[in-house]
Structures are given as C-alpha cells and as structure tokens.
Amino acid sequence: MADQSIIRITKEIGEIQKNSDLSLAVAFRDRDVRNVKAMIIGPHETPYEFGFFEFSFKFHKEYPRKSPTVTCTTTNGGRCRFNPNIYSSGKVCLTWRGEPGEEWSAAQGLESILLSIQSLMSSNPYENEPGFEHANDTSDKANQRDYVAKIRHETLRISVIQKLEDILGITSANDSPATPIEYDPQTDGLDLDDSSAIWEPFKDLYKRRFLWYYDTYLEAMKDAKKDVKDGQVFTRMPFEGGSNAMEGKFNYTELEKRLQNIKISLNAELDRWATEGLSAKNKDTTVPVNLSRQFDQIKESFKRDDVPHNVELENGNPFVWVITYFGRPMTNFDGGMFRIKLHFSPRFPDEQPRVRFLTPVFHHRVTSDGILCYIPNANRCEDVKQHIEAIFNALEEENPPYDPRTQVHPEAHRLYWGGAEGRKIYNRKLRRSVQRSMEDF
C-alpha cells in the first residue's frame, strides 16, 4: 500500500503548481518528495514587495498528523532577520506552533502554511512582535517606521539583487563572490541537506519576474531615498539581539547600480540564447526541430485566421520569433500594428520564452521597455501556440481583475485602477501608442 503521507504531499504540491499562483511556487526532486522548496513573492504595498523569499519544508512520515519542519533560507547566510517571526537562523514562528486553540491540524497543508507565512509579510511587520499592543505610542511609531525602512532595503538587496547576482554569476564588491547557479541532472535525487548538491528550481522564474518588476524596484528605491541617506545605520529594534537581528547601512545608490547591471546581464543572455540556438539548429537537436515544427504550424494557422497576424523567424533562427500583432476590431488596439519578439532558450520549455514589444505601447501589462507580463498555461508550457494566445489575451482582456502582482508598469497600473478619471487618461495614452504604432511600419 502506498505511503499515505507521500500521496497527500504529492497532491498538495500538484494543486499549487496547477493553480499558477503568481506569488507562490513549490518544487521537489523526483526521488525526494518529503523535501520541498517553496518560494513566496512579497506582497504589494509592503516593505517585502516583489522580493523572492525561499523556504525549505521537511515532511515527516506522520504528516499530516504532524506538521512539517519549515525553514527560511533567505537570511543572507544567517545574518538577516526579515521579520519578528522569521529569524536569521531560518526558524519560522507560526501561530499553530503552541498557541492554545491554534495547534496544528491535519486539515491544514502546504498551501495554508505558505499563506500563513505570506500574511506575516505585512505593511507593518513590527505588529508581529509579541506585546506590540502594549508598546509606547511615541517610540513605537518611530520603531515601526525604521523597521519598515530597513526591511525594504534588505528585501531589495538580499532577496532580489543578491539572488539574481548569484544566479547570473555577477560579483559585487560588497557581497560574497557569486557563482552561476546551474542545475546538474547528475545530482538529481540527492538529499536537500547535501550542501554539495546545487539545486535552484526557481532560477528561470526569478529572471522573468525580475524583468516584470524592474520598474517597481527602481521606483521603490527612488521613494526610499527621500527618507534615508546613504551610509545611515539601521536602527536596532527592541526585539533584536545578538546574531538574530538586521544590521547594516542604507546604500540605495549602490543598489540602483547593481539592479541596472542585472538588467544588462539578462538582456545579454538573450544574445547567448540566439547564438546557442543556431548552434543547436545546425546539430539538428530536439529543441530546434520542435520549435521549427511549431513555427510552421502557427504560421499556417495565422493565414487561416480572420485577423491577419503574422510570424517570422529572425535571421532564420528558430529560437527568435517576431510576431506582427494586429489590434482586434472594437478594442483599444483597433487599427494598431505591433511587432513582438519571442526569445526561446535552448533549454525550452524548462526555461520559458521572454516576450518583448519592439513597438512601444502604453499598457498596464507591458513594462516601460516592452517586457510583457503574461501568464501561460502551466500544464502546456511546451506549446508555443498557447503562449501566443496568452500574450494576446493579456493585451485584449476587457475587464481584468485587479491584481497587483501584474503591476509591471507603475504609472499605467495607477491610472488603470485609479478611478474613472484615471481610466480615461490611461485609455488616451494607450490609444496614442496604438495610433503611433503604424508609424513604425
């Protein structure tokens, strides 16, 4: 008889992965389902906004009767305490770990734990400190402000910038030398506690999300620099002590430079993809053959569509597609014509396409430099047609639900959801970009 705990864990992981949640991700190695890596993206309008926070879960054989062991691994090597309830040692204190009436229940699961942790990442995390309700009003308000300020700085420095530098192999003068993180299939199945096994299942996700949120990171830094100065020392909180603290100095000028270098490195990666792709094409390997076949099928399907979209290969390279998108009648895109470039990795579909508008457009799902925020079907990530459909749907969605996790163009986002007057201004800006799009052809 199959292990019931394994069945339960596998089901819970599958449900999270199937939902394509934009703020949660989970992964495990095929032969080690009891050891799970999870990622939480910091919530909007908090000092954790769009930071990448990783956690390790170790599920016991008694699960779900016994809760899993949860450890935060985004701690800057045990030097940073990101929350009163998330220690620099990695310990995570949740309410079900001892409060009367709030003990662990077998009805809970992986997703509920992640959501509980995410709820700790609030706009005022100082409130998570036990005894907060009895704090002195005057000193308390100052501590709250100072605590939020340093969490915002360290979220950007450690969970975003340092994380991407490690992945890309960028060495910073003020942090430990970085080594590119690569997945080695030869280490698959090794225990997660084995430090010799480098495993980074969210590497591609981090790169794509960084490009989505780049403008928001820059805007957050610009706003923060109004309140703190470079070299200003972090304020120690009453509940911090010894190594279980968040020590350091503000230096947003340096962080901006490092953020920009990451963007440059990610753009350069696309050139390497194209070069590697041509080499793979010449060797007639699986990925270019698959992409070429899908290209031919999609090109033929466009010919049969009522709207005359078109697709071409750049320099005959099956890893670089250029789509000509014609705005659908009776929408804000009516009369527009946009060129959209799709870059494919030689490791597609393990690495997902990156999509950029070559024709400028003012849209709440498109960054200022053309990166499109779209959500493909997680169960069909190898199907390029469903990627293209998701791209068009992201542009043409008439009444999208408010979702700050898709905030990739701060100005457009504020206007779109800024009331009737803001929506009018947004629509005018979008229509102007549509009218100008024809000038590029």
The answer to whether 75 and 65 have CB atoms below 8 angstroms apart is no
Q: Radius of gyration over alpha carbons of the chain, in Å?
A: 23
DSSP letter for each residue of 227-264: T--TTPBPPPPTT-BTTBSB--B--HHHHHHHHHHHHH
Measured CA to CA, the distance from residue 117 to residue 119 in angstroms comes to 5
Q: Among 385, 158, 169, 384, which residue's Cα sits nearest to residue 269? A: 169
The answer to whether 90 and 103 have CB atoms below 8 angstroms apart is no
Tokens of 216: 């928001």
Q: Among 91, 114, 106, 107, which residue's Cα sits nearest to residue 38? A: 114
The answer to whether 88 and 73 have CB atoms below 8 angstroms apart is no
Tokens of 56: 């390790």
Is 373 one of the annotated active-site residues of the chain? no
User: Which helix (H) or strand (E) segment is 89 a member of?
Assistant: none
Catalytic residue among 80, 93, 373, 381: 93
Give catalytic residues, as residue numbers. Answer: 93
